[in-house]
Amino acid sequence: MPGYDTKQECIAVDGTADLQIRSLLDRQQFADVAGEAAALGISSATWPLFGLLWPSGRALAAHMALRTLRPGDRILEIGCGLALASLVCHRRGADVTASDCHPLAEAFLRENLRLNAMLPLHYRHGPWDGEPSPSGFALRDPVVGRFDLIIGSDVLYERDDGGHLPRFIERHAQPGACVLIVDPDRSNRSAFNRRMLAMGFTLRESRLDRRAREGDAGYKGRLLCFERPRQAAAPDSAWPA
């Protein structure tokens, strides 16, 4: 591809068949000729992060491979990157929408669907702050509507003093929705949890630790499972500082 190098790998996901995945060659890749990423606030240092396979993404994909999916449920993956979990859900026949703020996430998703002989999958642009960029790029096919299941992996890597991610989730969560976040023990988890609880979600946490073995680096993290009651969420003013 012009401006950056890619690789294609056969990725094993526990609980399901292997997937062919095109990703960036390494973290040294960068290409933003039209300035779309810069207009969205994506720096050159963070630009390649969407196009790499991360341990938490694999853990979420493995969880979704085995999770019972209710017929008719709408699923939204936030900060999908290479959308490994969305691909797993899509192959299982789920109604899934992948979303990310990176301008190349959709193109990589289309290519990985082709590599695995899958039908098209819904993709929407999903900036959590909801603000249009100066270029207007953020207005293209934004996430709309509400979902029964919202999933994400390693999405708490930055401080979110404005609470943009919890607000985004609240806007798109159906009454009675479930939110699943796989987190590698990031320090921002506590603040995120407090805000979700203040909006009326309940929380269950479970460890996803896996010991390292030959050919496997292991994993240390947890699954955050938030459930939203069917009554209205608490107002923003109820959030703790």
Q: Which residues touch 185 (CB under 8 Å, ≥6 apart)?
A: 220, 221, 222
Compare 203 and 133 and report the one with higher pLDDT. Answer: 203
What's the pLDDT at 2?
64
Domain extent, residue 133, equals 54-238
> Is 29 within a domain?
no
The whole-number pLDDT of residue 131 equals 54
pLDDT in tens, 31-40: 998 899 998 8
Q: CA–CA separation, 194 vs 176, rounded Å?
A: 19
Is 39 inside any structural domain? no
State the CATH number of the domain containing residue 126.
3.40.50.150
- Within-domain flag for 116: yes
Number of domains present in the structure of the chain: 1
**Predicted confidence band at 241 (pLDDT cuts at 50, 70, 90)?**
very low
Q: Is residue 195 part of a domain?
A: yes
The answer as to whether 10 is a domain residue is: no
Question: What does pTM read for this prediction?
Answer: 0.91
Q: Which residues contact 134 (CB under 8 A, 6 or more apart)?
A: 39
pLDDT at 67 over 80: yes
- pLDDT, the chain, mean: 91
Residue 4: inside a domain: no
Contact status, residue 151 vs residue 75, Cβ threshold 8 Å: yes
Domain assignment of residue 219, yes or no = yes
User: Could you give the CA distance from residue 127 to residue 119 in angstroms, rounded to a whole number?
Assistant: 25
Q: Quick one: DSSP state of residue 92?
A: T
163 occurs within a structural domain: yes
Q: Is the confidence at residue 137, as pLDDT, over 80?
A: no
